[in-house]
A = this chain, B = another copy of it.
Amino acid sequence: MNIDPRESLISAATHFYQKGWMVGTAGNLSARLPDNSFWITASGRPKGELTEQDFVRVDIDGQVLEKPNPDFRPSAETSIHQVIYQSFPEAKACYHVHSIEANLVSNFTEGNGLLLPSLEMLKGLGIWQENPSVEMPLFVNHLEVKKIANEISDRFLESPPKIPALLIRNHGVTVWANSPESAYNYIELVEYIFRYMMAARQVSF
């Protein structure tokens, strides 16, 4: 049994980078281990060419447990991964990317939830209804990341999201899943939906 998920994270990052969703070192990916610690991308590393040295292992409270490269720090947004793993015990992977489309659709509403279009693709996020009406939770982008993390934690405790994804305004999307493979699919699905929303608005739908 392979308990080191870094290979999956590297492969996902390469793909997301090529798609333009992790340019200029943006974004961060993590995967949780059986002991409840998680590997997360180190801060400031180019996502198109990660190696196993470009990760840091932290515990659920954010304490660094293992650093293959002593110069690297965990992602500046580690606290968001912590609250995801704390809020969702079944979550084994948490992926955050910064697409242009995610940034723009996050401004389609001033509220705290983004209504998604009624697409077949929602089935892939667990929504099996005819003409479903689903919102993606939307959060304010504070300069202090811990403040964002706390707002996520608080809101999800009160009202759990219907889909495993959240948006931070002007700051990209975060998904979580019970495996790296599913987290990869969720990123593809939400980015597809964001591109659809942008294209729909361009043709005035």
User: A residues bordering B, Cβ < 8 Å?
Assistant: 20, 23-26, 46, 98, 100-101, 103-104, 107, 118-121, 124, 128-130, 141-143, 170-172, 181, 185-186, 188-189, 191-192, 195-196, 198-203, 205
Residues of B within 8 Å of A128, CB to CB, are: 143
Bound CA–CA A202/B98 (angstroms): 19
Copies of this protein in the complex: 4
Given contacts A46-B185, A192-B23, A203-B198, contact A103 B124 (CB under 8 A): no
The answer to whether A120 and B170 touch across the interface, beta carbons within 8 angstroms, is yes
The answer to whether B120 and A26 touch across the interface, beta carbons within 8 angstroms, is yes
Bound CA–CA A119/B186 (angstroms): 24
The answer to whether A199 and B142 touch across the interface, beta carbons within 8 angstroms, is no
From the candidates B26, B130, B192, name the one contacting A100 in the complex (CB within 8 A): B192
Shortest CB distance A5–B (Å): 17
Bound CA–CA A52/B189 (angstroms): 25
A selection of 22 A-B contacts at a CB cut-off of 8 Å is A23-B189, A23-B192, A24-B124, A24-B185, A24-B188, A24-B192, A26-B120, A26-B121, A26-B124, A98-B120, A98-B121, A103-B119, A103-B196, A104-B199, A104-B203, A104-B205, A120-B172, A198-B199, A198-B203, A201-B203, A202-B202, A202-B203
Residues of B within 8 Å of A141, CB to CB, are: 120
The answer to whether B120 and A195 touch across the interface, beta carbons within 8 angstroms, is no
Given contacts A23-B188, A203-B198, contact A170 B103 (CB under 8 A): no
The answer to whether B119 and A25 touch across the interface, beta carbons within 8 angstroms, is no
Given contacts A104-B196, A200-B104, contact A189 B120 (CB under 8 A): no
The answer to whether A100 and B24 touch across the interface, beta carbons within 8 angstroms, is no
Bound CA–CA A98/B193 (angstroms): 12
From the candidates B103, B118, B185, name the one contacting A25 in the complex (CB within 8 A): B185
Bound CA–CA A196/B25 (angstroms): 17
